[in-house]
Amino acid sequence: MSDYYKPNRKPDWNYGGNKWRLSRSKIDLFTECARCFYVDNKLGVARPPGFPFNLNSAVDALLKKEFDIHRVAKNAHPIMKQYGVDAVPFEHPSMNIWRENFKGITHRHEPTGFTVSGAVDDIWVNPKGELIVVDYKSTSKDEKIEVLDKDWHDGYKRQMEVYQWLLRQNGFKVADQGYFVYANAGRDKKAFDGVLEFDVTLVPHKGNAGWVEGTLLDIKRCLDDEKIPNPADDCDYCRYREATGRVLMTQHQKNAPPTPSKKRTRTSSDADTLFS
């Protein structure tokens, strides 16, 4: 078995266990497919994860270092000036915890009893004292990235809105307007020469976290129900499991040895019938 993927987690990390928490990514999983979410969080078998994109992680780490320079200096990063954003990187004693995976910003949601968490990439603050949620993204596309208008971008937007909701639950004043710092590696150079050149753009998103509260209540009902939810219509993981289950069952039935016929003991009534 791969060391990277361990399908069965210990019960204390499942729903009801003392280490379980509802992360931002788990909320997004629920919106994608309630069945996959249920199998993961209640039954303890997670989807196989994709391998980490180390280049993306490197870009994230370098952007954090770059913005931290301006955080310490209490001045605006050049991209803020370029796009006319009146803000500076937000400085707070918990900033490093908020950005750390498996820790992040947390809130105890009383109606459900969930501890909800999410690790943010960055936070800026404007002159009104409003916090601005910022997320770093990196890719390599031919076109300049200035809007998030693809279907799969909805997950990015929900991600930002969960962070906005978490900060508000912690008592902060949060702007609806957030930003994606998008680093796009160019492919139009004559040679690689050991260098990737990125076009960095600032993509705005006006968040609306009004869906979060209702979704948490839906998640609570899902986890407390013993009935397994239906799969999402477009969930490839569920389609794979179902298709695999069918062919394996068919193959198992083909390979199973024939069931031996049971010898029937003759009774007096059988004899009476036979010779009547």
pLDDT for 108: 97
Encode pLDDT of 136-174 as tens digits: 999 888 888 888 888 888 999 999 999 999 999 999 999
Tens digit of each residue's pLDDT (9 = 90 or more) over 184-204: 888 888 888 788 888 999 999
How many residues would you count in the chain?
276
Q: Is there a contact between 130 and 88 (Cβ–Cβ < 8 Å)?
A: no
Comparing CA positions, the residue from 164, 153, 167 lying closest to residue 203 is 153
pLDDT of residue 270: 45
Confidence of residue 264 (pLDDT cuts 50, 70, 90): low
pLDDT confidence band for 257 (50 / 70 / 90): confident
Give dist(CA 215, CA 138) in Å, integer.
28
Q: Provide CB contacts within 8 A for 51, sequence distance 6+.
A: 4
Q: Hey, is 55 helix, strand or coil?
A: helix
Enter the tokens of residue 207.
């968040």
- As a whole number of angstroms, the distance between CA 32 and CA 233 comes to 10
Q: What is the pLDDT of residues 41-98, one digit of tens each?
A: 999 999 887 766 778 889 999 999 999 999 999 999 999 999 999 999 999 999 999 9
| Dihedral (CA of 184, 105, 89, 134) sign | positive
Q: Residue 25 in contact with residue 32, Cβ under 8 Å?
A: no
Task: Select, from the ranges 27-36, 191-200, 250-259, the one with the highest average predicted confidence (pLDDT).
Answer: 27-36
Q: What does the domain layout of the chain look like in residue ranges? A: 53-208
Please count the CA atoms within 13 angstroms of the CA of 40 that sit on its side-chain side: 23
Q: Label residue 219 by pLDDT band (50, 70, 90).
A: very high
The model's pTM? 0.87
